[in-house]
C-alpha cells in the first residue's frame, strides 16, 4: 500500500494519506499529479471508442461517470472510485495486492460523508484536515500491507 488520495469535483487534491515511507513527493508535486489524473480521466471519456456506438438519446446519460477506473504500471496499480457528484477517490498500491479495492474506496466515501461533510465548519472543496478522519482511515487500511 502506498497512498490514498481524494480529489474534489474540480480536480483539486483535498486529501492525501501515505502508508509507506517510499513516497518522496512533496505537496506541490502531489497536487499537480492529482490534477493531471483528473484531466486524463476526463479526456479518456471523450476518446472512448465504444462511446461512438452508444445512442445518447437520453440527456441523463451524460450524468454517468465513465472515466478511468484502473491504471496498471510496473510494480504498482492505481484504482479510482468516482462518485456521481464528481468526487474522485483513488489509491496507489503494489500490483501484487489481490484485494477488491473498490470496497475500501466506497468505505472511504462513507467516512468522507459522515466525518467531513457533517462538520459545519468544513468548507466544501477545501483541504481536509481532520484528526478523526485520519484516525478512521488508518484503522480501515491497517490490515493491508
- Which residues bind to another protein, rule: CB under 8 A? 42-43, 46, 58-60, 62-65, 83-85, 87, 106, 109-110, 112-114, 117-118, 124
Question: With 0-12 CB in 10 A as exposed, 13-18 as middle and 19+ as buried, what is 140?
Answer: middle
Q: How far is the CB of 34 from another protein (least distance, A)?
A: 18
Backbone angles phi, psi at 101, to 5 degrees: -70, -25
99: cell is 484485494
108: cell is 472511504
Instruction: Please list, in sequence order, all residues whose beta carbon lies within 8 angstroms of the beta carbon of residue 100, skipping any fewer than 6 positions away.
Output: none
Which CB, 95 or 121, lies closer to another protein?
121
Q: How far is the CB of 68 from another protein (least distance, A)?
A: 15
Q: How far is the CB of 96 from another protein (least distance, A)?
A: 29
Report CA-CA distances (Å) from 128 to 7, 53, 115.
11, 40, 10
Which CB, 2 or 35, lies closer to another protein?
35
Q: How far is the CB of 75 from another protein (least distance, A)?
A: 31
35: cell is 490534477
Which CB, 83 or 97, lies closer to another protein?
83
Which CB, 95 or 110, lies closer to another protein?
110
Amino acid at each position: 500500500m502506498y497512498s490514498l488520495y481524494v480529489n474534489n469535483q474540480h480536480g483539486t487534491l483535498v486529501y492525501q494519506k501515505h502508508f509507506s515511507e517510499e513516497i518522496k513527493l512533496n505537496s506541490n508535486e502531489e497536487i499537480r499529479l492529482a490534477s493531471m489524473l483528473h484531466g486524463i480521466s476526463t479526456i479518456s471519456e471523450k476518446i472512448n471508442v465504444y462511446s461512438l456506438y452508444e445512442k445518447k438519446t437520453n440527456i441523463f446519460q451524460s450524468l454517468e461517470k465513465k472515466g478511468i477506473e484502473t491504471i496498471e504500471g510496473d510494480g504498482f496499480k492505481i484504482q479510482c472510485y468516482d462518485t456521481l457528484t464528481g468526487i474522485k477517490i483513488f489509491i496507489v498500491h503494489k500490483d501484487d495486492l489481490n484485494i477488491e479495492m473498490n470496497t475500501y474506496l466506497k468505505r472511504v466515501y462513507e467516512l468522507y460523508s459522515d466525518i467531513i461533510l457533517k462538520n459545519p465548519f468544513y468548507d466544501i472543496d477545501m483541504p481536509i484536515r481532520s484528526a478523526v478522519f485520519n484516525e478512521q482511515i488508518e484503522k480501515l487500511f491497517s490490515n493491508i500491507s
